Structure 1
Amino acid sequence: MVRLTRVQQQERTRRFVLTAAREEFTEHGYAAAKVDRIADRADLTRGAVYSNFPSKRALYLAVLIDMVENPTADEPPPPPAQPTTTSDALGAFARTWLERLPLVGDTASGGRLHLRSLGGVLDDERGRTVLAQVVRVEALLLALALESYEQDRATPVRRVRLAELALTLLDGSGHLAESAPGFGDPFDLARACEHLAGIELTDTWEPPYLPYVTPARPCEDTWDPPAELTDRISGGRADLGADGLITVLGAGRLAAVEEAVRSARPGEQVTVVVVTDDAAETGRLVRLRITDLVGCLRRVFAPDAWRRVRLVLDDAALVASAIGLTDLDDETESAVRVRNGAIVARAHGRGAAYAASTSDVSTSGTSTADASNDTRPKGPTS
């Protein structure tokens, strides 16, 4: 008889719970689902379910993450030929995203699960606030991919507003599919996204608070980066030892991701580390949305579309601890600049990424504001 280790038994129990929960949510939907029935389906006690997932919402988010990361349906169709224009790329992305729309024959509850619906799930202010911040990150990631098609332009172009419009259209189609199944033709929606690329938008990035950001503190601290962390954009290992900017953001400050990207120095790596004091729900919400979007992006855009940007979900606060941060919460915003294996600048609070990236660090470790960098945030640089 094969004896399972404790870790193996825990993983087996977790898998039983996820399978049972998916059946329950498919049959009854999120609101009407019962943890007691999930426990019965898994032939476990209610306590065993809660020992793995502290709430029904945490369990629902875990089911969606499992669906996204471990699809059981047929393999998705191969990606189309590499798009050559912004318009083509946006259309290809839309077609990929629209594959989540409910299928013919899906029950109402099963269709919502396939859609990754969060309707009725985020019924608190914190959940809605975090979702709004995550959507800003989604728009930026899509925008950076679109901007990669226009690198040769004399004037840098920002495509965040275009990305926001496309995501608004697609998310809206998802809500309609949830409440009015069959309404809206996916091919029309994809064509509409293609045409969005032709709309002239005034799209600049120059936050008015940047001139008032507190300068970074110069230092010469040893940097011992955690190893084996995953970059959620590429799916590979996140190398935190390279020269560049490391920004640690709470789930309520994720909109500052763009500040880190736009402020970065040419040639330096940008690593955004997301932390939370609630890994079970807030952490899972961020992981679900980012993983889901990136899965679509990878099928359309070349791997180098995001160039030097890395995104790490640090539920265990390994990076934050290595930097020396404590008392993490949704409003955490801190940044360090790494050079030659050492931390040479630190900044905390609003504008931390800009302060750390634009600091002019001398070989002696002193730092002054670099006036030549004042114009850098006015346009896309990464």
Structure 2
Amino acid sequence: MPLVSWDHDGDEEVAMVRLTRAQQQERTRAAVLVAARAEFGERGYADAKVDRIAERAELTRGAVYSNFPSKRALYLAVLVGSIEHPDAPNDSIEHADAPVGSIGHADAPEAPSPPGLAEAMGAFARSWLERLPLAGDTPADGSLRLRSLAGVFDDEPGRTALAQVTRLEALLLALALESRPPHHPRCVRLAELVLTLLNGAGHLADTAPGFADPFDVARACEHLTGLDLADTWDPPHLPFVAPAQSVQDRWEPPAELPDQITGRRVGFDADGVLVVLGAGRLEAAEEAVRAARPGDQITVAVVTDDPAEIGRLVRLRVGDLTGCLRRVFEPEARPGFRLVLDDHATIASAVGLPDIGDATEAAVRVQAGEIVARARGRGAAHAVATATPPDGAGR
């Protein structure tokens, strides 16, 4: 009788089958993405067909939908891939320093920072405008290069998420601008104005190519830094926010996730404030940032019940913007908080959220292995960031 453990052999066989299936699924996804890139590049988002994508990939329609639940999810995956792999075949977008981690490469070289607010803004604008279609691009391929979302989100949840992620983009840009010496007051309204101009230029390039000179647009962005926008931090609802609840609950940190700002994987076992925001409440990230005490580690976790579409939208827009920031600002000038995408709701579960949605807003303060403050609902990020832990908390 052979000295073989059938249980052990069975486990190895199951593991090999699982590995083979995972490899096959990865190959299928890669084939679908290549085919989708070609289809969207030839026909544009509106006229692209999933059946033709399946035919290009030599797969069934069901195989495409088993990996991507909708044409919109597939289109967003193609756009995210153009940032993650800017030098991939069939991709005309070129970046000298693409976003890193889940978006790009952590070893990308750092560019020196321009000396001054106007110069930094001009450099950021020029980096952003590199996506504009080239003279020889077809309309469909130009839209891919531009990473255009025109006509993609025509439903209310998508439009709301797009508006909120744009506010988050403005916060990221503003925090970088505020760090320029001499340090500037709140620059969020300036960042919103600049992003309005840049996105308007992008829309014109998509619908009326050749109309605007990108160098003029960049110079205009520089001049916008000279406007006095009377930008102050005074949300009217904050005085009415209920205080955070003082607790002493055990904290069990979830697994590491990539920080979308730096690209590095980060853990959640250190002291600090952890904010969980749905895609419809991303603007609340600033409430935690402005209220944070010196030395506080602020982590914002974005949750959604639609990671294939809304989750990819956040990943695309944040990765796109932080890639531009990395080409302009030195590391110490970049936003001083961590931003993670909690696609599987592991962080939401760890902080005790039974369910999530677009309107989710919750926060906890962690100290010495315990949750010492909690809040949920509008203003939760501000309430926890300003909470004073009770005496003896975490001991």
Using the size of structure 1 for normalisation, the TM-score is 0.91
Pairwise CA RMSD: 1.7
Gaps spanning 5+ residues in structure 1: where? 367-382
Name the residue aligned to 2:49. 34
Deviations 1:31-69 (A, max 9, x none): 110000000000000000000001000100010000111
- The one-letter code of the counterpart of 1:122 is F
Paired residues of 2:169 and 2:321 also in contact (CA < 8 A): yes
Name the residue aligned to 1:86. 117
Deviations 1:174-225 (A, max 9, x none): 0010111111111111111111111111000111211211111111111121
Measured in 1, the distance between the counterparts of 2:48 and 2:215 equals 34
Name the residue aligned to 2:35. 20
Measured in 2, the distance between the counterparts of 1:76 and 1:211 equals 46
Moved over 4 A (4+): 77-80
Secondary structure of the 2:323 match is helix
How many pairs are equivalent? Answer: 362
Measured in 1, the distance between the counterparts of 2:110 and 2:128 equals 12
Measured in 1, the distance between the counterparts of 2:219 and 2:112 equals 17
Deviations 1:149-183 (A, max 9, x none): 14x55xx6000011011101100000010111111
1:238 is the counterpart of 2:227: no
Name the residue aligned to 2:5. none
1:317 is the counterpart of 2:345: yes
Offset, 1:263: 1.0
Measured in 2, the distance between the counterparts of 1:223 and 1:314 equals 17
Paired residues of 2:372 and 2:393 also in contact (CA < 8 A): yes
Name the residue aligned to 2:6. none
- The one-letter code of the counterpart of 1:359 is A
- The one-letter code of the counterpart of 2:44 is G
Name the residue aligned to 2:315. 287
Which of the numbers 137, 145, 150 marks the counterpart of 2:168? 137
Offset, 1:334: 0.1
Measured in 1, the distance between the counterparts of 2:35 and 2:198 equals 30
Instruction: Kindly report which structure 2 residues correspond to 1:172-321, keeping only aligned pairs within 5 A, or say none.
Output: 172-306=200-334, 308-321=336-349
Closer/same/farther in 2, CA of residues 307 and 34 from structure 1, 3 Å limit? closer
Offset, 1:80: 5.6
Measured in 2, the distance between the counterparts of 1:263 and 1:242 equals 19
Paired residues of 1:218 and 1:365 also in contact (CA < 8 A): no
Which of the numbers 150, 175, 178 marks the counterpart of 1:119? 150
Secondary structure of the 1:206 match is coil
Name the residue aligned to 1:101. 132
Paired residues of 1:268 and 1:308 also in contact (CA < 8 A): no
Secondary structure of the 1:336 match is strand
Closer/same/farther in 2, CA of residues 358 and 226 from structure 1, 3 Å limit? same
Deviations 1:257-308 (A, max 9, x none): 1111111111111100000001111111111111111111111111122353
Gaps spanning 5+ residues in structure 2: where? 1-15, 98-108
Measured in 2, the distance between the counterparts of 1:307 and 1:365 equals 29
- The one-letter code of the counterpart of 1:186 is P
